Amino acid sequence: MTEVACGIDIGGSGIKAAVVDLSTGEFVGERVRIPTPQPATPAAVADVCAQLLEQLGVGEDIPVGVAFPSPVLHGVIPFIANLDPSWAGTNIIDVMKEHTGRTMVPLNDADAAGLAEIAYGAAKGVGGIVIVTTLGTGIGSAIVNDGVLLPNTELGHLELDGYDAETRASSGQKTKQDLSWKKWAKRLQRYYSHVEMLFSPDLFVVGGGVSKNHEKFMPLLDLKTPMVPAQLFNTAGIAGAAWYAAQQTAKARE
Ligand code: BGC
């Protein structure tokens, strides 16, 4: 693998990028951010990615990974919940190539966070089944078994009590509905017990911005599975995308 790679994390409010030292997962130099264009169409988002790469001065030989808030099947977005609907059916690799002149490696944002927590963070060296969930506008999920990712699991869209789970239990909904920690924790309890029953994981890692307040809700949950906050906090998407891009690029060269 190369020593550094670049990661871009596409979110609903900001698009962030940095060059990552792959031995530590830390950023080399600054992290750059541009607000997500509205509407966040494929062309507008790809133009922002081009600007970010220019700001960072990312050379041609550096692999670039891009984390996306939707499933990514062989470069194509089948559906999207929290970004412009015109992304559905788009091939990210083609759009990025057209607007940035580069071949990028796309993946789901929660998968990126999961890979980063395994490589550098809370699940480093943990065997068995690790489920990383990101609580934000939506709920993202990554299932990793003995270090191997099962991509695009979309557990945020499990049906719970007749609802799409992320419309009940995401931290975005906590804010939107002004739920107390206790009320929100009740919803999280329903959610995580259900996921626990389905997958019998060895560890839950909880990421997303709200994980910095983990003392407020984790102690209220009663689960059989140990649960820890993510360690990489808001750098996981970028670090995981960079790690994955380097790994895929090395694989393609073999
Ligand atoms: C999307 C997932 C994404 C998650 C977090 C969900 O709405 O369907 O693909 O990982 O939000 O961004």
Q: Do 133 and 91 belong together in one domain?
A: no
Q: Is the CB of 154 under 6 A from ligand 1?
A: yes
Are 57 and 31 contained in the same domain? yes
Q: What is the pLDDT of residues 2-28, one digit of tens each?
A: 699 999 999 999 999 999 999 999 999
Q: Are residues 141 and 195 in the same domain?
A: yes
Q: Mind listing the pLDDT tens digit for each residue in 205-253?
A: 999 989 999 999 999 999 999 999 999 978 999 999 999 999 999 998 8
Angle between helices 236-253 and 109-120 (to 10 degrees): 90
Asked if residue 151 and residue 103 are part of one domain, the reply reads: no
- Report in angstroms the alpha-carbon separations of 229 from 31, 92, 249: 22, 31, 30
DSSP assignments along 114-159, one per residue: HHHHHHHSTTTT--SEEEEEEESSSEEEEEEETTEEE----GGG-E
Q: What percent of the chain has pLDDT over 70?
A: 99
For ligand 1, mutation pick of 84, 135, 139 (most atoms within 8 Å of CB) = 139
Measured from the CB, is residue 81 less than 6 Å from ligand 1?
Answer: yes
82 and 42 in a common domain: yes
Confidence of residue 47 (pLDDT cuts 50, 70, 90): very high
Per the model's pLDDT, the better-predicted residue between 83 and 35 turns out to be 35
Looking at the fold, whether 87 and 181 belong to one and the same domain comes out as no
Residue 52: inside a domain: yes
Instruction: Say if residue 50 is in the same domain as residue 148.
Output: no
Distance 110 CA to ligand 1 centre (A): 7
Does 116 reside within a domain?
Answer: no
> Per-residue pLDDT tens for 81-100?
889 999 999 999 999 999 99
Determine, yes or no, domain membership for 12: yes
Specify the residue with its C-alpha closest to ligand 1, atom 4: 140
Does 156 sit in the ligand 1 pocket, CB within 6 Å?
A: yes
171 and 244 housed in the same domain: no
Q: What is the pLDDT of residue 234?
A: 82
Residues 152-200: tens digit of each pLDDT: 999 999 999 899 999 999 999 999 999 999 999 999 999 999 999 999 9
Do residues 215 and 249 share a domain?
Answer: no
Ligand 1 within 6 A of CB of 240: no
User: What is the structure's pLDDT at 106?
Assistant: 98
Same domain, 73 and 150: no
Please report, for the domain that includes residue 187, its CATH number: 3.30.420.40
d(CA 77, CA 70): 7
Specify the pLDDT at position 28.
96
Do residues 93 and 103 touch, judged by C-beta distance below 8 A?
A: yes
Q: What are 100-138's pLDDT values in tens digits?
A: 999 999 999 999 999 999 999 999 999 999 999 999 999
Domain that holds residue 162: 122-229
Same structural domain, 100 and 25:
yes
Q: How confident is the model at residue 38 (pLDDT cuts 50, 70, 90)?
A: very high
Domain count, the chain: 2
Inside any domain, residue 173: yes
Does the residue 92 lie in any domain?
yes
Instruction: Tell the residue nearest (CA) to atom 1 of ligand 1.
Output: 70
Residue nearest to atom 8 of ligand 1 (CA): 70
Examine the domain organization and report whether 105 and 161 are in the same domain: no
Which two tokens mark 158? 């499990």
Compute the distance from residue 127 Cα to the ligand 1 centre, in Å.
25
